[in-house]
Chains A and B, each alone.
Chain A
Amino acid sequence: MTLHLNCRVERGAFLLDLDANFPDREVTVLFGPSGSGKTSILRLIAGLDREPGVRVAFKEEIWQDEQTFAPPHQRRVGYVFQHLNLFPNMNARQNLDFAEQRAHTSEGLSRADIIEVLDIGDLLDKLPDQLSGGEKQRVAIARTLLSHPGLMLMDEPLGSIDQAAKNRILPYLQRVHQLLDIPVIFVSHAMDEVLYLADTVMEIRQGQMIQQDTVIGFSTSEGAAASSDAAAILRCRVLELDSTYSLTSLEVDGQRLMVSKAGFSVGDQVRVRIPARDVSITREPARETSILNVLECTVRTITDPGEGPAAMVSMTCGRQTLLARITRRSLHELLLREGDKVYAQIKGVALMIEYER
């Protein structure tokens, strides 16, 4: 057990009632709508709010219980806030210095590595007001990393920047998470962030945890599959590297997937993310098609909302699950039933690679 939070906090009509264990060295995403209590959970862990009825333990240390209350500066947490709060009177370099001089421990990522991974070398002499939203957030993340936390808390760090900037910063976050060997708790209400970054997902509704699962299990759960950003995550192994076509072959439970070449070695374990909207279904294997990736699957469940254009088909592929968002019209014309054998066609470009940690 790395981090344990137990709380029963009443705030007017809102009750935050939670007993949660957070895994070590993994990214746990607290996922849920606004106002569900996600930020309150982070603030209790960090000690920014002091409430009775809260117990926080990190490794062997008790940070808070009936008798104890460790103030935030003694908790070894790194906190990335939703509203970018770099110190406005200091340039980026001085913001980093502030954190480095007060680092929680001497062990951690080096300053040079952090600056490189987040690509902020050119921003160091600028004041926060001269940086764009995405740049500010990268500097803020670097500042938090430089304090060498034992635990990283990230409160919707991408919530206040636009989608284009978000798409640019997500890979940075992923690289940071790969380098860190500490628990990361990431608050989000955006499905794409969850599927991109999470190892474990805790779904929070109205102050309670209604689901805790691996991201693979979560991605195909009923609630997640209903999202327009629904995507399945498959575990794969690198089979071979094809330099003629710059492709990498992956094995998914005995079947083959091809993705654009990336820096893998044969035998690497990787994850791919396959958005449901990029998957179509055929009864027969198509011949002479430009689509490279076709997986043989069995229809597991069909979710037909009974109105609107789209339905969701969940299929098993070996021991794994694939999602397809197809039109309800196609669903009826194909006469799909649960248990049918089908072929899932996946647009090659839709594959996204993630390293398995």
Chain B
Amino acid sequence: MTDPDLISLWITLKLAFITTVFLILLGTPLAWWLSRSKGIARNLLEPLVALPIVLPPTVVGFYLLIVFSPDSLPGGLWQSATGSTLAFSFSGLVVGSVIYSLPFYVQPLQVAFSSLQKELMEAAATLGSGPWDRFFNLAVPLSRRGFVIAICLAFAHTIGEFGIVLMIGGNIPDETRVLSIALFDHVEALDYDRAHLLAAGLMVFSFILLLALYSVDRRWQNRARVES
């Protein structure tokens, strides 16, 4: 792979994939907790998770850059553990993407979990099903639509992100230069042919992803209607 755009494509897909995996691992319990609990901690955490939706990406990026600095505690710990800085590295991009895409994963899932009927979970409990069993064998299958939407949105959103990557990842070829930044570079260099290629590619990809998402959703809704 010598074409720098292909390398950018590879970095982008790798970033989106790894970010989505982390979001599934971290965001799923978070969405469950937000959908089940009450109280001050929950009421504070919910807007905090949603913050990246309203904040300019550069604001999030700026603060992450400060946290990533070897002078700060998290950045220092990371450097002593791995020997490299978190800022301007692929790992740093993953951390930033997870935070920035978190609401896009958590919110649809939280909606799905909240709409689970309490009585179904209670019925399962009286049938001898413990909390983990109920979650994996009842809540997850019943929330499959929420999971598909959450995963697609998180994946697509990570692929499209720009501002935060520029702030914390810089523009390092073979390391942190993702597609959206490569596109920006081509435009700055007035290389519109390559810019068109990337822009159109991203657009087609996003369209196909949404098309697939809506058709899956429609099919499940139709099936639900047939079942009722």
Interface of A toward B, CB cutoff 8 Å:
46, 48, 71-73, 75, 77-79, 81, 83, 85, 87-89, 98-99, 102-104, 127, 129-130, 143-144, 147, 153
Pair A72/B142 contact, Cβ less than 8 Å: no
Give complex CA distance A147, B127 in Å. Answer: 6
Give complex CA distance A286, B40 in Å. Answer: 79
Instruction: Choose from A83, A102, A127 the contact partner of B227 (Cβ within 8 Å).
Output: A127
A-B pairs with beta carbons under 8 Å apart, 20 shown: A46-B126, A48-B126, A73-B126, A73-B129, A73-B130, A79-B126, A85-B119, A85-B120, A85-B123, A88-B120, A88-B142, A88-B227, A89-B141, A99-B127, A99-B128, A102-B128, A102-B133, A129-B228, A130-B227, A147-B126
Query: Taking the complex as formed, is B210 at the interface, i.e. its CB lies under 8 A from any CB of chain A?
Result: no
Shortest Cβ-Cβ A-B pairs, 6 listed: A102-B128, A79-B126, A72-B125, A129-B227, A85-B119, A129-B228
Query: Taking the complex as formed, is B215 at the interface, i.e. its CB lies under 8 A from any CB of chain A?
Result: no
Looking at A71, A72, A144, the one whose CB has the most chain B CB atoms below 10 A away is A72
Give complex CA distance A46, B123 in Å. Answer: 11
Query: Taking the complex as formed, is B13 at the interface, i.e. its CB lies under 8 A from any CB of chain A?
Result: no
Residue of A nearest to B117 (CB): A85
Shortest Cβ gap from B83 to chain A (Å)? 47
Give complex CA distance A173, B130 in Å. Answer: 28
Residues of chain B within 8 A (CB-CB) of A48 are: 122, 125-126
Pair A98/B124 contact, Cβ less than 8 Å: yes
Residues of chain B within 8 A (CB-CB) of A89 are: 141-142
Instruction: Choose from B119, B130, B131 the contact partner of A83 (Cβ within 8 Å).
Output: B119
Interface of B toward A, CB cutoff 8 Å:
117, 119-120, 122-131, 133, 137-138, 141-142, 227-228
Give complex CA distance A40, B133 in Å. Answer: 26
- Name B's interface SS: helix
Residues of chain A within 8 A (CB-CB) of B138 are: 87
Give complex CA distance A259, B138 in Å. Answer: 50
Pair A147/B125 contact, Cβ less than 8 Å: no
Give complex CA distance A35, B27 in Å. Answer: 40
How many contacts A-B (CB < 8 Å)?
66
Give complex CA distance A314, B142 in Å. Answer: 56
Say yes or no: A73-B125 contact (C-beta < 8 A), given A85-B117, A89-B142, A129-B227. yes
A-B contact sample (16 more), CB < 8 A, given A48-B122, A72-B122, A81-B119: A71-B125, A72-B125, A73-B127, A73-B129, A81-B123, A83-B119, A85-B119, A87-B124, A87-B138, A88-B227, A99-B127, A102-B129, A104-B128, A129-B228, A144-B127, A147-B126
Give complex CA distance A99, B138 in Å. Answer: 12
Give complex CA distance A103, B128 in Å. Answer: 7
Shortest Cβ gap from A257 to chain B (Å)? 42
Residue of A nearest to B137 (CB): A98
Give complex CA distance A43, B208 in Å. Answer: 49
Instruction: Choose from B117, B127, B227 the contact partner of A143 (Cβ within 8 Å).
Output: B127
Shortest Cβ gap from A107 to chain B (Å)? 14
Give complex CA distance A102, B130 in Å. Answer: 9
Residues of chain A within 8 A (CB-CB) of B117 are: 85
Give complex CA distance A61, B137 in Å. Answer: 29
Residues of chain A within 8 A (CB-CB) of B133 are: 102
Give complex CA distance A78, B120 in Å. Answer: 14
Shortest Cβ gap from A46 to chain B (Å)? 6
Instruction: Choose from A73, A87, A127 the contact partner of B128 (Cβ within 8 Å).
Output: A73
Pair B142/A79 contact, Cβ less than 8 Å: no
Instruction: Choose from A71, A83, A98, A127 the contact partner of B127 (Cβ within 8 Å).
Output: A98
Residues of chain A within 8 A (CB-CB) of B119 are: 81, 83, 85
Shortest Cβ gap from B171 to chain A (Å)? 47
Give complex CA distance A216, B131 in Å. Answer: 43
Residues of chain B within 8 A (CB-CB) of A85 are: 117, 119-120, 122-123
Give complex CA distance A130, B137 in Å. Answer: 22
Give complex CA distance A269, B133 in Å. Answer: 46
Give complex CA distance A78, B125 in Å. Answer: 10
Shortest Cβ gap from A130 to chain B (Å)? 7
Residues of chain A within 8 A (CB-CB) of B141 are: 89
Residue of B nearest to A77 (CB): B126
Residues of chain B within 8 A (CB-CB) of A72 are: 122, 125-126
Residues of chain A within 8 A (CB-CB) of B131 are: 71, 73
Looking at B125, B137, B142, the one whose CB has the most chain A CB atoms below 10 A away is B125
Residue of A nearest to B226 (CB): A129
Shortest Cβ gap from A114 to chain B (Å)? 14
Residues of chain A within 8 A (CB-CB) of B125 are: 48, 71-73
